Amino acid sequence: MSRTDPQFKLRVPPELRAKIEQSASAARRSMNAEVVIRLEASFAQDKPQQEQPL
């Protein structure tokens, strides 16, 4: 991720922010990197379901 990547503001409950902060700290990542990694993982889990024929 670079500083030139697009940015957007996101509102999250304080409890969720604390979880992200704790997880990022444990993994030695920034909160931004933690959120991006978790979002990418959630989309990767969705991918097989999207590719199944109806």
Beta-carbon count within 10 A of 32 CB: 13
pLDDT digits (tens, 9 = 90+) for 3-44: 889 998 999 999 999 999 999 999 999 999 999 999 999 999
Count up the domains in the chain and report the number. Answer: 1
- Full-model pTM: 0.76
In a domain, 29, yes or no: yes
In a domain, 3, yes or no: no
Domain that holds residue 37: 14-49
Residue 33 CA to residue 9 CA, distance in Å, equals 15
No. of helices (H) and no. of strands (E), the chain: 2, 0
What is the model's pLDDT at position 23? 98
In a domain, 6, yes or no: no
In a domain, 43, yes or no: yes
